[in-house]
Structure 1
Amino acid sequence: MLVSASGVHYRDSAGRSILDGASGLWCVNAGHSHPLIVEAVTEQLRTLDYAPCFEFGHPGAFEFAADLVGVMPRAFDRVIFANSGSEAVDTALKLSLAYHRARGEGGRTRLIGRERGYHGVGFGGTSVGGIGRNRAAFGTLLPGVDHLRHTYDPSAAFTRGQPEAGAELARDLQRLIDLHGAETIAAVIVEPVAGSTGVLVPPVGYLQLLREITERHGILLVFDEVITGYGRLGGMTASEVFGVTPDLIVLAKGLTNGTVPMGAVVVSAHVDEALSTGVAPGVELFHGYTCSGHPLAAAAGLATLRVFEEEGLCERAAALAHLLEEAVHELAREPFVRDVRNIGLAAAVELEPGAGAPGVRGFEVLKRCFEQGVLVRVTGDTIALAPALVYTEAHVEELVGAVRTAVRGIH
């Protein structure tokens, strides 16, 4: 049990200090209990605890939306708030359908996800998600959904950063277009780096080719940046880092440094124009949540942006990425390690599964790391590392050292 947190450490119920090697759950990028964020949320709670977002508003939501657009790629000019990444994904999917209907192409209803992709636990996000165990209990989910091939290639094991080969995997979208018809497809949604499945890094040129194909056929491209946004790759977005501009960007997690639940869809100008053109006075878009743009979340979001700017967190992440890469790839020589992947401040160590016991070794490493006072994330037999952007070199060494010791102790 975790009972308190400060900086890059938790404290457990036994009073032990625990190094956070997962940024909470990919979200506490600026470190726990940052004083500026704590102060902003506390003061907001004293001033305005809640305001309705239907017919009314409050200054914080508009201020945060404006500042958020200011750190996004130039093509984006509108923000729609939600309360989590799952809600934000479902919002982006609804916006994609509404966009095509507004343009007189209501037949575009098909949504394309990707194998091994994760897009939250909402109905739409689970449907476009491509991790079998996340879908198995819920039947067919949304009809008319299909999936691209994933990008993992075992022959590229132990690649540092982006694999050089594999861009052509994006052409699998053309196969789905030929099968279903471009006129039926509303949107393609992908994580620029597939995080939850174990840090699958896109091949060089893959995202660029995916963008070319979607643009050619009038299909919206949605980047789910719930994990990759807010400095994880050394820039505010993966879109910026990879030089690929989608039509919609989904954000959450680091948006408020994990302090108050919040999600957002950042909307490009041409999508916003289509949605707002010809709309009768009154409600522009019949979509929203009771706590959309909540005052506490907006205060946390504004403070988080301030921390990123004042402390240069994206630059710090970029500088630290090389240290993480060097350290984590030293694990390649350890027993049972069959792959190491990394990009920015995200890394994965994939283990050979035990005979007839998939996931057992991964969970054993998680337990052994925690016994050493280090928290890591595990997906099956893959250990995921996501250090906070405020880590030091000593923290990186402690994190990777704990994984090394844990791996050496399993059978």
Structure 2
Amino acid sequence: MPNQMSQLAERDVKSLFHGQTDARKLEATGPLVCVRAEGINVFDEHGNGYIDTLASMWNVALGYSEQRLIEGAKRQLETLPAFHSYYNRSHPPAIDLAERLTAMAPGGMSKAYFTNSGSEANETAVKIVRFYNNALGRPEKKKIIARQQAYHGAGIFSGSLTGLKAIHEGFDLPSPGVLRTAFPYQYPAQSNISEEEFATSLAELLESLILSEGPDTIAAFIGEPILGSGGVYPPPATYWEKVQAVLRKYDILLIVDEVITGFGRTGPMFGSELYGLRPDLLVLSKQITSGYAALGAVLFTDEIYQVVADYTSKLGTFGHAFTSGCHPVPIAIALETLDIIEERKILEHVQSIAPHFEERVRRFSTRGDVVDVRCVGLLAAIELRHPEGIGPGVISKKAVDIGTRHGLLLRASGNSIAICPPLIITTSELDTMFDRLEATFDELASETT
């Protein structure tokens, strides 16, 4: 980044308020203003190019140059540029996408409800669960169990489901009604029990929490197949099998948040397929449109739908909706995204390149400044060692700054650098990305020793 702020950067700092940012630091440094993108690369206002190692915000699956998505949006804008699904109204793209998603999703989904984002989708999932239990005459069965280090959004309740301190501080979160259970990861270097034994202990902790709170007060458990924004933590073997058994035992619904893991990120279409997950409600967003437009979705089973539908008949409505939550343009883009994923065999590409991706990630484990590496599919994290006396996240954020000098857009997630490139990345691009990351860590090490 240039030492002197550009006119664009100065204008940005004067008028644009940035999320998840230290506003005073930004005033001093100015933002990195990106003006165009191509393939897996983003270019700033000075012409500098960067490999986008996080696919924007975990979502640009098909890269930045997919003309078919642009044309799909254009066709929809020329036919039905705006509409909704309020009352008894609908439109063809929504009907088609709902049918495709419910048919392909795990768990026997029956209905799809569209929103503008993953945060809104998680808020909606919780409202459906509340509506469902009220319909069944169970007004006390409302608490939601979420996990430490989870990320489920930044709204009042979705932010409460999130298990990250930075999302809570200053906002009076979490709100009542959210219970927290254990972080499902053990560092290999610190492990003295098997993964299965660890999974058993986590399931026992979950059951103890349920019993102490009272099963009749707990409505649902929400979880990502792999903890994403909290640091990319895959679960131990048999974890989801054991957790689902506990939930079934106490009649607790399972909300699976596939906002990051959906649509091929881990290899199969959904992360649930890796772990045998059978959700009652499934939350989707991000790669559903390859990031080209805002869209989220909640899918749910026919068992839930039938109860909810009966209650809407009693009350006269399901009093929840978003003006642009079922907008035809992002839905048309989502349909085109699914077509491309299928026609170009994107899942097969991910599965073919994933072993090399993992091998490059694992190389970092031999470095003295790396504590841990984690990888599933094209989703990874490299956790950096933080010297004594330096606060959490300081070193990883410094790595992000150094990375820009090496042509990388990086994301700090706690003490880790998260890696989540566009699914279309090639082997040579992957090697270039990791070579630049090694150079970044080498420079970081020279500055911190």
Q: CA deviation at 1:165?
A: 5.2
SS at match of 1:113: strand
Q: In 2, are the aligned partners of 1:157 and 1:339 still within 8 Å (CA)?
A: no
2 CA distance for matches of 1:24 and 1:314? 20
1:332 is aligned to 365
1:366 is aligned to 400
Q: In 1, are the aligned partners of 2:107 and 2:278 still within 8 Å (CA)?
A: no
User: What amino acid sits opposite 1:87 in the alignment?
Assistant: E
Q: Which runs of 5+ in 1 are unaligned?
A: none
Q: In 1, are the aligned partners of 2:107 and 2:279 still within 8 Å (CA)?
A: no
Is residue 224 of structure 2 the alignment partner of residue 191 of structure 1? yes
SS at match of 1:383: strand
Q: In 2, are the aligned partners of 1:376 and 1:383 still within 8 Å (CA)?
A: yes
Cα 1:3/1:165, change in 2 over 3 Å: farther
Cα 1:367/1:280, change in 2 over 3 Å: same
Q: CA deviation at 1:52?
A: 3.1
1 CA distance for matches of 2:337 and 2:291? 10
Cα 1:149/1:352, change in 2 over 3 Å: same
1:4 is aligned to 36
Where do 1:17-28 residues align within 5 Å?
A: 17-28=49-60
Is residue 90 of structure 2 the alignment partner of residue 48 of structure 1? no
Structure 1 stretch displaced more, 36-45 or 280-289: 280-289
SS at match of 2:236: coil
Q: Which runs of 5+ in 2 are unaligned?
A: 1-32
SS at match of 2:325: coil
TM-score, length basis structure 1: 0.95
2 CA distance for matches of 1:110 and 1:409? 47
Is residue 159 of structure 2 the alignment partner of residue 151 of structure 1? no
Q: In 2, are the aligned partners of 1:165 and 1:203 still within 8 Å (CA)?
A: no
Q: CA deviation at 1:281?
A: 8.1
1 CA distance for matches of 2:137 and 2:314? 20
1 CA distance for matches of 2:47 and 2:78? 31
SS at match of 2:169: helix
Structure 1 stretch displaced more, 251-260 or 10-19: 10-19
2:16 is aligned to none
User: What amino acid sits opposite 1:385 in the alignment?
Assistant: I
1 CA distance for matches of 2:114 and 2:190? 38
Report which structure shows greater RCO (CA 8 Å, sep ≥6).
Answer: 1
Q: What CA deviation, in whole Å up to 9, does each residue of 1:290-336 have, x standing for no partner?
A: 01210111111111110111011112112211111100110112231
Q: In 1, are the aligned partners of 2:52 and 2:421 still within 8 Å (CA)?
A: yes
Q: In 2, are the aligned partners of 1:165 and 1:204 still within 8 Å (CA)?
A: no
1 CA distance for matches of 2:424 and 2:190? 29
1:33 is aligned to 65
Structure 1 stretch displaced more, 305-314 or 371-380: 371-380
2 CA distance for matches of 1:365 and 1:243? 36
Is residue 268 of structure 2 the alignment partner of residue 235 of structure 1? yes
Structure 1 stretch displaced more, 273-282 or 298-307: 273-282
1:254 is aligned to 287
User: What amino acid sits opposite 2:307 in the alignment?
Assistant: A
Choose the corresponding residue for 1:79, options 98, 112, 134.
Answer: 112
2 CA distance for matches of 1:200 and 1:278? 39
Q: In 2, are the aligned partners of 1:335 and 1:408 still within 8 Å (CA)?
A: no
Q: In 1, are the aligned partners of 2:107 and 2:277 still within 8 Å (CA)?
A: no
How many percent of aligned residue pairs carry the same amino acid? 33
Choose the corresponding residue for 2:410, options 376, 394, 407.
Answer: 376
Q: CA deviation at 1:171?
A: 2.4
2 CA distance for matches of 1:61 and 1:72? 16
SS at match of 1:138: coil
User: What amino acid sits opposite 1:275 in the alignment?
Assistant: V
Choose the corresponding residue for 2:435, options 386, 389, 401.
Answer: 401
Q: In 2, are the aligned partners of 1:77 and 1:268 still within 8 Å (CA)?
A: yes
Structure number with bigger Rg:
2
Structure 1 stretch displaced more, 102-111 or 257-266: 102-111
Q: CA deviation at 1:284?
A: 4.7
Moved over 6 A (4+): none
2 CA distance for matches of 1:163 and 1:224? 23
2 CA distance for matches of 1:382 and 1:83? 29
2 CA distance for matches of 1:294 and 1:370? 36
